[in-house]
Structure 1
Amino acid sequence: MPVFRPGSWLNPESRPDGCGTATAGRFAVPLAGGRFDRHFHDDDELWFFTAGKAKILLDGSEQYVQAGDIVLSPAGAPHDIVEVYEEVRGFFSETGHPVGGRVGHLHTSEEDAAGHVVPARPLPADFPSL
């Protein structure tokens, strides 16, 4: 089985024959100069946060996330990282595409596709503790 190192990710061009996972890889948003894009997928996507604290937008609802959290973005649900309180790192996986499904980040506007700076902010008082 292939090993995917930093800077590479599992995708339709690199995945082994018979692999049902559409894509998989790592993501990071640093405290300074981090960027992200509001997007959706034709299939479900899982995020597993391995480090950090942030606020995300998932299908119109803002939620706090931190290391250890798993987020499920259902097919078609816009999602985004909107604030970071500590550098976040994690792992993503698109679960598999429906027939005719598109790969990767899909956008509803050119503005969303261009991405945005993710502001670094102090940890909010209402941030949940583990």
Structure 2
Amino acid sequence: MPVMRAPAEKPDWVTWSNFGFGTVHDAAGFDRHFHDADEYWVIISGRARVLSEGQEYVIGPGDVLCTRMGDEHDILEIIEGPLQTFWFEDELKGPKRPGHLHRPEDEPAASR
């Protein structure tokens, strides 16, 4: 069985475009963003109030936050920190832009 230590080391049959572990101590250091891929956060420890697909959730150990491609998500508050996650982004689609993408501040919500 292959071992992945970096996205470039993935087998051809793995569709993930990116993955990693994250530790967030302060929600202010996290940015509201979206991706050209579906993204999943597996919560290892900590508790937080988050935004995904226009809904607020409180997440904790064992939860998996699932965010569809193009939907903004954010960490609004660390309730019990730090928040530790394993996250992965599925196959890039549409424009296939990697990384955190941001909407222009003047873009109307209806067109998002």
Q: Which residue does the alignment assign to 1:88?
A: 83
Going from structure 1 to structure 2, the CA distance change for 1:46 and 1:75 (only over 3 Å counts) comes to: same
**TM-score normalised by structure 1 residue count:** 0.69
Pairs within 5 Å for 1:1-130 = 1-4=2-5, 9-10=6-7, 14-16=8-10, 18=12, 19-31=14-26, 35-86=29-80, 87-98=82-93, 100-109=95-104
- Matched AA of 1:94: E
Inter-partner Cα distance in structure 2 for 1:99 and 1:59: 18
Inter-partner Cα distance in structure 2 for 1:94 and 1:44: 6
Q: What is the aligned-residue RMSD (CA, Å)? A: 2.0
Q: Which residue does the alignment assign to 1:114?
A: none
**TM-score normalised by structure 2 residue count:** 0.80
Structure 2, gaps ≥5 residues long: 106-112
- Matched AA of 2:97: R
Structure 1 ranges of 4+ moved more than 6 A: none
Going from structure 1 to structure 2, the CA distance change for 1:34 and 1:2 (only over 3 Å counts) comes to: farther
- Cα offset, 1:17, TM superposition: 5.2
CA contact (8 A) 2:34 2:72 kept: yes
The superposition leaves residues 29-60 of structure 1 with CA deviations (integer Å, 9 ceiling, x where unpaired) of 115x8610100011100100000000001122
Structure 1, gaps ≥5 residues long: 111-130
- Matched AA of 1:106: L
Q: When you count helix as a share of all residues, which structure comes out higher?
A: 2
